[in-house]
Structure 1
Amino acid sequence: MRTSLLVLALLVPTVNSYRYTSDEVLKVLNSARSEIAEKAQIANMNELEYNPDLEEKIHMELIFNSGCSTRVIDRGSLKIYKNFKPEDMKDEQSIVEFLGAPGMTEMAYVKNLCLKNARRMHSFAFKKTNAPNINGPPGSKCPSGRRPTSDGLCALGKSYARKVVDSSRPWIVMKDSPLIAVRMKTEEEIELEKWIKEHYWNRINKPIGE
């Protein structure tokens, strides 16, 4: 239970804030995976790498499958969490299902705003393999091409590691619009939300005939 509470303490304030960069979110998720590996004694828990290309996979789901909905899409080697809410993880099992698979290798994170209700949303994509849990001291049985870290994770060698590019800019999910998702600048998000609430949201909820 202590590990569950610690993972939630790491995830909730980070994921629920627009201030964090992709690099910071990545570090929090890897810290959580390290905690899971330590408690469960998983010897082959991979360290996640940030892959900006996966952001486009998230955007496609936001466009074609109701961007304002909560949904988990599992396509074998790719798993996408739309509008993920860490506070909904009620127990240790739900935390492990979200973040504890040792075969996860890459991730991406997208912040978006649903214009249907002006709600902030957070979505994740994870690239994964079907590698089974190997019991043992964390980092003691890393897959080929990976090395153990001081945190008990299995990291790619330097020649394979990706450079993290902070592309976690907020996206607006438009309802009933041909232009479904529009990338916005981070520094504009506060003004954007204010404008939406004052001009757009109030207008579309105005009674007919006014």
Structure 2
Amino acid sequence: MRSLLLIGLLIVHSANCQGPTNELYIGKVNGLRSVYAQLYQQADMNELVYREDLEQLIANQLAKSNGCPDSSIVKRDGYHIILNYEGELKYTVITQSGSTVLAATTTTCPENGETVVGIIVDGADTEPVRGAAGTHCPVGRTRNPNGLCALVGNGRRGYVRKDIDVKIPTTIIETGIRVPHIWFPKRVPDDLIPEIPDDIKILDLPDVFPW
């Protein structure tokens, strides 16, 4: 049943995937956001833009644990930094309609050699506008063919390079407040379930969240 497939797409993950890379990653995130906006009738779901400069904020957070963090979500300076987090809150990258930017890194814990995946997205803790996807875009954005609210003009910049190799800095900065409030719908009426685009597969979510 298509509804079960989509719900599974939003909650299932795997450890047998590589970390996030380049524009393919942001494309998959936006693809999942498009499906989610249709599925949950979110009229103001923004298209995310990759920001390489935000990778440094992930690196700064990793420095607090010498590159070997516990699974966590940290809220800092208006951003949500997600580090190998196992819980439902990691899906804020997909579910927060008001978010606009994203960055991701893969690093290696020097203590055990395990891969650490870090994701950062700007926080948007308000409830989304209900309605058909892309019908209530914020000022300066317009509906794109996928039903996401895209920046008017050329707003795309700073896609991630193919091989991310973030060095852990020694500067330690103040941490933020953990576990931000996230709006997460509980139920989807069967008549509102959209068709799954051909380019969105069940394996896309593990590519986005490989832990």
TM-score normalised to the size of structure 1? 0.69
Deviation at 1:132, TM superposition (A): 2.9
126-135 or 28-37, larger mean C-alpha shift: 126-135
Give ranges in structure 1 of 5+ residues lacking alignment.
181-210
Counterpart Cα distance in 2 of 1:120 and 1:43: 36
What letter corresponds to residue 73 of structure 2 in structure 1? V
SS of the residue aligned with 1:46?
coil
What letter corresponds to residue 136 of structure 1 in structure 2? G
Q: Which residue of 2 aligns with 1:82?
A: 83
RMSD of aligned alpha carbons: 2.9
Counterpart Cα distance in 2 of 1:16 and 1:60: 25
**Pair 52,172 (structure 1): closer, same or farther in 2 beyond 3 Å:** closer
Counterpart Cα distance in 2 of 1:111 and 1:96: 18
1:44 and 2:44 matched: yes
Write out per-residue CA displacement over residues 102-160 of structure 1, whole angstroms, 9 at most, x where no aligned residue: 11110000010011111111110001344431000000000011111111111112233
Write out per-residue CA displacement over residues 23-69 of structure 1, whole angstroms, 9 at most, x where no aligned residue: 11111111111111111100000011000110000000011244212
Q: Which residue of 1 aligns with 2:8?
A: 5
Counterpart Cα distance in 2 of 1:25 and 1:132: 25
Aligned runs of 1:46-65 on 2, under 5 Å?
46-65=46-65
Between structures 1 and 2, the one with greater helix share:
1
Counterpart Cα distance in 2 of 1:101 and 1:156: 17
Deviation at 1:161, TM superposition (A): 2.9
What letter corresponds to residue 131 of structure 2 in structure 1? G
SS of the residue aligned with 1:73?
strand
SS of the residue aligned with 1:104?
coil
What letter corresponds to residue 82 of structure 1 in structure 2? L
Counterpart Cα distance in 1 of 2:89 and 2:53: 27
Write out per-residue CA displacement over residues 151-172 of structure 1, whole angstroms, 9 at most, x where no aligned residue: 1111112233324241651346
Give ranges in structure 2 of 5+ residues lacking alignment.
173-211
Counterpart Cα distance in 1 of 2:98 and 2:58: 20
Q: Which residue of 2 aligns with 1:112?
A: 107
The answer on whether the counterparts of 1:52 and 1:167 sit within 8 Å (CA) in structure 2 is no
- Give identity over the alignment, percent: 25
The structure whose RCO (Cα within 8 Å, separation 6+) is larger is 2
Aligned runs of 1:120-139 on 2, under 5 Å?
120-139=115-134
The answer on whether the counterparts of 2:59 and 2:167 sit within 8 Å (CA) in structure 1 is no
Counterpart Cα distance in 1 of 2:140 and 2:52: 22
64-73 or 120-129, larger mean C-alpha shift: 64-73
The answer on whether the counterparts of 2:60 and 2:171 sit within 8 Å (CA) in structure 1 is no
Figure out how many residues of one structure are paired with residues of the other and give that number.
168
